Each structure stands twice: as structure tokens, then as C-alpha cells.
Amino acid sequence: MGLIAEITHRCPLQCAYCANPLELVRPTEELDTSGWKRVIEQAAELGVLQFHFTGGEPLARRDLVELVAHAAANGLYTNLITSGVLLTPDLMAALVTAGIDHIQLSFQEADPQASDRFGGYNGGHAKKIAAAAMIRESGLSLTTNFVVHRQNIDSLPAMLALGEELGSERIEIAHTQYYGWALRNRDALLPTREQLEAANAIVDEARAGLAGRIAIDYVVPDYYAARPKACMGGWGQRFLHILPSGKVLPCHAAETIPSMTFASVRDQSLAAIWEHDPAFARFRGTAWMPDPCRSCDRREIDWGGCRCQALALAGDAARVDPVCARSPEHDLVEAIIATRDRDVTSGDLPPLVPRRYQS
């Protein structure tokens, strides 16, 4: 259904919950313009419907407008996921002319000072507000993304209000997911159960109040779920994820699994990788599943949950996802939650380790 293209890992922000891999791709290792154009053409031939330009910060690529135009010319729905801090009026106009269909604008907080602190970019919040105005004035629909965690979750009502004020047609409230760099900061980011329950109630109320005007997507932290989510719609079933180097993954964090190797579009076609690559076949479907997944009536709903999470928590990507209450290792998750539920002040939390891009 969709291809998520990390066209660069370059980024001016320093978010502690960064979802990019621990090993970032350097500019000299990125696919060039012709390489990404070839990917776009092969994606259209394969039947991909949506092409998502992301990063890092995709606006750091000087050829972004050219790539968007090529995707639009090949009949793909184009979506840009950006922090907005590098967006200018001229670039906005060029993107519209190129055929961009939609833009998702990310925020770290509603309060300017807190937003700049979490993003590690002075003046970044003001640039995001300006970017939102440019997007709306261009006639495009706007999605505002807010990543929430223990240290900003109490500002959730203000985030929702900001999304409404900016003219969003869709607001995404996404709790931090603990892979890669975010896993390193988990103890400082994972909310308490009380915080999560309060957030759930706030989102429910907002959905009722904004129904018919603004859609709200809500992604909860897996650690508090009784059953795992179908990560990426199931391993190798609905999405392709391509790193700036051209390496093709079933999900953004799959490279954390050390026993696996992933093919590159530099060496094989996108169709060959999707249809025949052993890495995509490894956890596709249900045959690989251990019990209780294999005998579970949800096996074709959640597809066994997240392989990267099984690795991060249980040490083996082939294990039952420990967030599932039926997992033999669910106690690992309960122990983490119990630690977070202790009555500690934010001053007692470990310091956040910012993610700095170094070229």
C-alpha cells in the first residue's frame, strides 16, 4: 500500500525519542537523485499507492522538489513528513507546483520554550508555526503530529488546542515507541499508568468535541496494551521502508535485528525484494509463529506483534511479543511499567540524551 522513503538522516533537530536507526546514514552514502527516481518508478510499477517522503528532515535534500514531481508524474500519492523548520515560502510554492498532496508537520510541544527544548533547536517552534500557515495558505490539508511522552504528556490539552488553532484537518497524537534511540531514553520517556489513563480520557473527549471537523489518530505505547498492534500492518505485508542508503526494510527498526541482512535497491529491483527477499519472508504470515501466537485467534489480526520489540525486550526477534498478556515473558513489561508507576518527580528521572546528527 505504501512506501516510506527515508531520503536522508540529516536533521537539525535533536529529539531524544528519535525513531531513526542507531547507525545513521551519512550524506555520502545516500542514494542520489537518479537512484531515488528509479525507486519511485519501480514503486509505481509494483502497485504502491502512497509515497511518504521522510527522514531525518527531508527538506535537507536539495532535490526533494524534483523527487516529489517525479512521484506525482508516476501517479503516486505524495506525502511529506517534516519538522517544518527548513520550510520557506519559495520552497512551499515549489512543492505545490511539483504536486505534493499532503504534509504532516511535527511538533514537540505546544509551549514554545518546551518545544525548543525537546527538539534541541532554538526558535524551532516559531518556524513550525510559520510552516503551518504556509501549508494552509497553499490550499493543502494539514496534519499536525505530536509525539507525547512522560515529560510532555500533561500538555496534551494544549497540543490538541494548538492543532485546532492551526487549522489541522487531522491531528496525530503518538506516544513514543521504544526502539533505537528512544529505547535508550525509555526510563525518562515512558509515562506512568495514571498519565496514560488521563491522556486516553482527554483524547476521547477531544474526538467527541471535534467530530466531523478534525480527525484524531491516537497511538498508545505498546507497553500498556493487553494485545500487541499489527506492526506496519504485518511484517512484509503492506509497507516497504527504504533507508537513505537504499536498503529495504519491512519496518523502520528492522535493522536492529542483528541476525538479519536486508537487500538494497542498488542491487535488486523493488519487486524482487518485496516478492523474494528472505528477510521479507522471515516473519511474513503465520507459519513462523511460536505458540501461543500460532494457536491464537488474533494471529491474522496482529500478526504476532512487533519483531523489533520482541528483540528489545526478550532478546530474540522470533519470540512472542512480550507486550502481549499471553506472552510467557509478559512479566518483563510489567516490571518496566511498575518502575515507571513509582511516584517520582520529573527531577528524579534520568536526563534525556539528545539525538545529534553528525556528518
Q: For the sheet containing 170-175, what is the strand order?
A: 215-219, 170-175, 142-148, 102-107, 77-82, 50-54, 2-6, 239-242, 248-249
Give the pLDDT score at 191. Answer: 92
- Known binding residue 231? Answer is no
Written as one letter, the residue type at 123 is G
The answer to whether the annotation marks 251 as part of a ligand binding site is no
Percentage of the chain modeled with pLDDT above 90: 84
The number of helices, as runs of H, and strands, as runs of E, in the chain is 13, 9
Q: Which amino acid is it at 59?
A: L
Q: What domains can you pick out in the chain, each with its CATH number? A: 2-219 (3.20.20.70), 231-339 (no CATH)
Indicate the pTM of the whole model: 0.94
- Name the region of 233 (left: φ>0; alpha: ψ -120 to 50; beta: rest): left
> Which of these ranges, 111-115, 243-247, 342-346, 349-353, has the smallest mean pLDDT?
342-346
Please report which confidence band the pLDDT of residue 180 belongs to, taking 50, 70 and 90 as the band edges: confident
Residue 22, pLDDT > 90, answer no
Return the pLDDT at 40.
98
Asked if residue 308 belongs to a known ligand binding site, the reply is no
Tens digit of each residue's pLDDT (9 = 90 or more) over 241-259? 999 999 999 998 999 898 8
Q: What is the mean pLDDT of the chain?
A: 94
For the chain, the first-to-last Cα distance in angstroms comes to 33
Q: Can you name the residues that pair with 172 across neighbouring β-strands?
A: 145, 217
The stretch 50-72 carries a mean pLDDT of: 97
Phi then psi dihedrals of residue 124, to 5 deg = -65, -40
